[in-house]
Structure 1
Amino acid sequence: MRRGICCTWSSDRRSRCFIESSGAGLGSGLRAGENTHSTASAPAPDRNPNPAPIPIPLMSSPKFSAVIFDMDGVIIDSEPRHERAFLDVFEQMGYGQTHGIQFEQYLGRSDRAVWIDFIAQHNPKWTLEELTAWKQNHLIEILRREQPIFDGLPELVAKVATRYRTAVASGSVHPVIDEVLAMKHLRQFFPVVVSAQDVAQGKPAPDIFLRAAALIGVAPETCCVIEDSAAGVTAARAAGMTAIAITNTLPAGKLTHAHHVVRTYEEIESLLL
């Protein structure tokens, strides 16, 4: 299945940004690459009237300033573990077979979105905050035990961080993000971390990516986002950013609105480096 602003910077890239939530979501940025058309008296007789589109290399446009990584499904194989944590809590609540949650509908979205819908259906005795903490604790236990960082991800991040400014923008809460970035010494590569807790609207709204760009100090259109979910790709595009989708969670056919769809971290490296 898966942040105004005070930022302290240091030369070793280990500084932490603390973000204060703001109001409504921000609008999308400008899109590049619109075609212009010129007129001609007649087409050449041997010209194909319906030519196949020519792929445009990612780096044919001005070089990106920053790369923003989603976490769940990109850095760590946590989507199925999120589901397991929810199911554990549902079972303990007595809703093991009747919870009514279709997890595929929440890929890339926050836990809060799941619990709001669950509460609307069942009106349980627990508060939203209690349910969120309950599931969060279950998830952290699973992640600590299994540490399912994707093979090849640490190497990619280390290389990308030498050329671009980097950030994490995740639908998870800060305690979960902190647990994940403590694995494989990943925290050193991400001076900016934005959580769904830090913005008014989660994905597919663009808020989380726009906040990350603001904290990094770059224009949204100079950012490239690495995502695994349809909601995340939608959010990145709404922010005016370039979206690379990796098929860790969904098949390529459900990620066609991304600018690039890849299967491996090596493909991402070839696009960016």
Structure 2
Amino acid sequence: MIKTVIFDMDGVIVDTEPVHRYAYYKQFSELNIEVSEEMYTSFTGFSTRNTFQALKGSFPSIEHEVEDLIKRKRNLFNDAFDTKEDLYLLEGVEDLIKDLYNSGIQLILASSASKVTIERVFTRFNLHQYFSHIVSGEDFPQSKPNPAIFIHAASLSIAPKDECIIIEDSTNGVKAAKAAGIYCVGYNSDHSYMQDLSLADLIINNFSELNAEKISQLKA
């Protein structure tokens, strides 16, 4: 019986990708680099640090230190996040979160986002009350598909990892979940652009396909 659900955040709980995209591409323009759609998509699930480390490897013209690049990106993101009014939780996810919580299933967040970004999202949408733990990718040297973040999240579970599931929407996230040896639900939403979820144990197109009763009976 499943006792813990580990959620990704971006693309699963809230779609902050348009805000991230705006901030990244504004910064790319400042750095005078041209990042293709294919390259940008390959960074899905990466932390900001890992993204800039990869970019510095691809563009020798970037002379800034990674930490300075991260600070600039976060400033651009935060300015856009605070002024963007049309930012909502993804359809059906709030009902699912409440159903799981009210059914006694433990909820853990494991997101590649920074702690600052997670805090902004959780405060804006009043989500702290439902989650027992929050794990940020900035605490790990390697991003998804490295499984470290999910292995750590599962270690915080009230149950062994074979009684946990992960909900992910990205290629790298699904790979990380499977590398961690944890049952993965792939969320194939309109925001999962160019993402390959084929390794997931179960693929859904809408959160209405899930509820606490169904999840509790999934076989890891």
**TM-score computed with the length of structure 2 as normaliser:** 0.87
Pairs within 5 Å for 1:1-273: 63-95=1-33, 98-99=34-35, 102-120=39-57, 121-144=59-82, 145-146=84-85, 147-162=87-102, 163-248=104-189, 249-250=191-192, 254-269=196-211, 271-272=214-215
Contact 2:170 2:195 in 1 (8 A): no
Amino acid of the residue matched to residue 8 of structure 2?
D
Q: 2:65 is matched by which residue type in structure 1? A: T
Gaps of 5+ in 1: 1-62
Matches of 1:251 and 1:266, distance apart in 2: 20
Structure ranking higher in helix proportion:
2
Structure 1 counterpart of 2:208, one-letter code: E
Q: Report the CA distance shift for 1:201/1:218 in structure 2 as closer, same or farther (over 3 A).
A: farther
Q: How large is the RMSD of aligned CA atoms in angstroms?
A: 2.0
Q: Is the 8 A contact 2:167 2:184 kept in 1?
A: yes
Contact 1:73–1:79, Cα closer than 8 Å, also in 2 = yes
Alpha-carbon separation, structure 1, partners of 2:205 and 2:149: 25
Q: Which stretches of structure 1, 4 residues or longer, exceed 6 Å deviation after superposition? A: none
Aligned-residue sequence identity (percent) comes to: 28
Are the equivalent residues in 1 in contact too, given 2:167–2:187 (CA < 8 A)? yes
Counterpart of 1:106, as a letter, is F
TM-score, length-normalised on structure 1? 0.71
Instruction: Determine the C-alpha separation between the residues in 2 that align with 1:108 and 1:181.
Output: 19
User: What is the rounded CA distance, in whole Å, between the counterparts of 2:43 and 2:141 in structure 1?
Assistant: 17
Distance in structure 1 (CA, Å) of the matches to 2:114 and 2:93: 21
Per the TM alignment, residue 225 of structure 1 is displaced from its structure 2 partner at its CA by 0.4
Deviation at 1:127, TM superposition (A): 1.1
Counterpart CA distance in 2 for 1:92 and 1:126 is: 12
SS of alignment partner, residue 122 of structure 1: coil
Cα deviations across residues 42-63 of structure 1 (Å, max 9, x unaligned)?
xxxxxxxxxxxxxxxxxxxxx1
